[in-house]
Amino acid sequence: MKTRAAGFTLIEIAIVLVIISVLVTIVAVPLSTQLEQKRFDETQKQLEVVKDALVGFAISNGRLPCPASATSSARESFCSNATGGCGAEVLSYAAAPHGRCFASNGFIPANTLALSPVDAQGYMVDAFLKADNINRIRYAVPAVTVSIVNVGYTAAPAKDYQVFTSTDGMRNTTMDKITAYAAGLLFICQESQAVTTVSITGCGARTELTRASPAVVFSVGSNAEVALGNLSSGGEASNQTPNSVAFFQGSRVDKRGAATPYYFDDLVTWISPNTLFLRMGQAGKLP
């Protein structure tokens, strides 16, 4: 009687490899989902830390910081002039006491606020770290002057000083005028898959959550490497458009493989004017 040689046949080895591949796939998919969720959770915590830092800065300085520009090494960045087209970029508030920001929709000035973690240029980054992409946390403030919000204002400082980014700009504009400003500060809108248009001056066809925010902090999520024109979400494109005053938040949706591709994963949070005024009032920075 012929006996079978010890060891595995090629067919048996192939079957084992197939089984191992299936098991790896079953384990890997949930693991990648968990890692992605962890990145979202960590980034959300970072955004809350940034909000606290912004309020702390306002309490100490009587104003919010300007965003950093792409060329300011993570320091707040100002226009050299108060009116007209923005002139030279200056990185010192002493050189721009009017508080006019060089980029009203830019990056968190991590250097100014002493925040971390940061990239090689000093910009604060979120938890979506990839070999080819390090996300910088974004930040926006309204570009409105004291005279725009408080019509007829003529006292010192000058009427063309910025409401939120000049020292005592909020105090001089007065809280009641700021909260009654109907034209709006920064708009927070509900993202909708059904609306694909880009909107940078208001919510457009989407639901308006507020138009009164003095500061927005956000992460562009895991798809920051996508070119602005290739974003399938109009809300994501609005968030990343320079000088946009409309910011869109919503649930994560991934339908990149659908007949009509759609993807949204921005994390957007904002400061309420009531919270900011309360904290500054308690510190004696507002009446």
**pLDDT for 157-215, tens place per residue?**
899 999 999 999 999 999 999 999 999 999 999 999 999 899 999 999 999 999 999 99
The answer to whether the CB of 128 falls within 8 A of the CB of 224 is: yes
Distance CA 276, CA 172 (A): 15
The whole-number pLDDT of residue 2 equals: 54
Distance CA 138, CA 85 (A): 23
The whole-number pLDDT of residue 225 equals: 60
The whole-number pLDDT of residue 287 equals: 86
Note down pLDDT in tens along the chain; length 287 residues: 555 555 667 777 777 787 777 766 655 556 667 788 889 999 999 999 999 999 999 999 999 999 999 999 999 999 999 999 999 999 999 999 999 999 999 999 999 999 999 999 999 999 987 656 678 999 999 999 999 999 989 998 899 999 999 999 999 999 999 999 999 999 999 999 999 899 999 999 999 999 999 999 999 998 876 777 778 899 999 999 988 999 999 999 989 888 888 989 999 999 999 999 999 999 999 98
pLDDT digits (tens, 9 = 90+) for 68-88: 999 999 999 999 999 999 999
Sheet with 207-213: strands ordered across: 207-213, 186-190, 246-249
**DSSP assignments along the chain, one per residue:** -PPPPSS--HHHHHHHHHHHHHHHHHHHHHHHHHHHHHHHHHHHHHHHHHHHHHHHHHHHHSSPPPPB-TTTTTSB-EESSSSSS--SEE--GGG-TT--BS-SEEE--HHHHT---B-TTS-BEEEEEETTEEEEPEEE----BHHHHSTT--SSS-TTSBTTTSTTHHHHH-HHHHHT-TT-SEEEEE--TT-----SSS-TTSEEEEEEESEEEEE-GGGTTS-GGG-S-HHHHHHHSTT--EEEE---EEETTSSS-EEE--EEEEE-HHHHHHHHHHTTS--
The answer to whether the CB of 218 falls within 8 A of the CB of 267 is: yes
Rounded to two decimals, the pTM is 0.87
The total of other beta-carbon atoms located within 10 Å of residue 16's CB is 11
The whole-number pLDDT of residue 6 equals: 57
